[in-house]
Amino acid sequence: MVIAPLALLYACASDVATQKDVASLRDELRAMRAKNELLEARMTRLEQEQAVLTARAAQESAAAEQPWTPSSVPSLTVVKLKPSHRAAPPIATATEVQEPSAEDLDALLERAVADGAASRKSAADAANARAEADRLYEEAMAALKTGNVSGAVLKLQTFAAEHPRHPQSDNALYFSGVGLMSLEDWEGAAKAFTRVLDEYPAGDARMDSMLRLADCRLKQNHPDDARALYARLISLYPGTTAATQASERLARITQ
């Protein structure tokens, strides 16, 4: 009768020990599963990092092998700077004004009067010189009209030499050449007409000088030069009286 209660007590003690072992094993299993999950997560992270490094290395290697192109230039960020609203520093502009002394005013007045007088004298001298030049030209032309051809030629050429900028200088040379032609000095006349063409390209005696020079070349037995001058005159000044005369004379030469 005593054995039965003892056996029952032993059986209860064994069940309690077994339950503790099972609980301990379960705790260990849960710990192992948690550790395995941590290891798997770490392994996954390492594999991802390795994949990124491998891809980056491949891109760098490909970029090093390919030549540079403008498309590889990275876009730049535009940064707008805020304008400054600070006022500029003031600049000293004050100037001390000094009134001139009475002596300085007198000196300035005397200088102005002297300058004005000099200017008026210069203008008067220029007017007198112009009037004298006009008188010499008129005297030379009068001598040419009255028949004093040699004296007129000398006066006209002297006038042209002394007053090369006078409005009548080219005409003086032209009429001196006309006078020399009347004296049958073809060489001297040709030189006078040539000077008109060379020295006064815009003068009003240019056309007539070219016509007369061609006439002189005919008299000097240079028909080819005369033809060239007549043709040039016709080409440069078509429709003028000089061009018409040149055409008539050119036609006579070629007959």
| pLDDT, tens only, 43-102 | 888 888 887 788 787 777 766 666 555 555 556 677 666 666 666 677 767 666 667 777
Q: Are 246 and 211 in contact (CB under 8 A)?
A: yes
Model confidence at 237: pLDDT above 90: yes
Q: Domain tally for the chain?
A: 2
| Close Cβ partners of 172 (under 8 Å, ≥ 6 residues apart) | 137, 140, 156, 157, 159, 160, 166
Q: Is residue 97 part of a domain?
A: no
- Tell me if 126 is assigned to some domain: no
Whether the per-residue pLDDT at 13 is higher than 90: the answer is no
pTM for the full predicted model: 0.54
Assigned domain for 32 exists:
yes
Cβ neighbors of 152 (< 8 A, separation 6 or more) are 140, 141, 143, 144, 175, 176, 179
Whether the CB-CB separation of 214 and 229 falls below 8 Å is answered with yes
Q: Is residue 81 part of a domain?
A: no
Residue 246's closest CA among 193, 197, 207? 207
- Range of 34's domain? 11-59
What is residue 175's predicted lDDT score, i.e. its pLDDT?
97
Q: What CATH number is attached to the domain comprising 208?
A: 1.25.40.10
Tell whether 140 and 237 lie within a shared domain: yes
Q: Are 217 and 226 in contact (CB under 8 A)?
A: yes
Average per-residue pLDDT for the chain: 82
The answer to whether the CB of 132 falls within 8 A of the CB of 140 is no
| Residue 76: inside a domain | no
pLDDT at 193 over 50: yes
Residue 125 lies in a domain: no
Considering the domain architecture, whether residues 144 and 227 belong to the same structural domain is answered as yes
The answer to whether position 98 is within a domain reads no
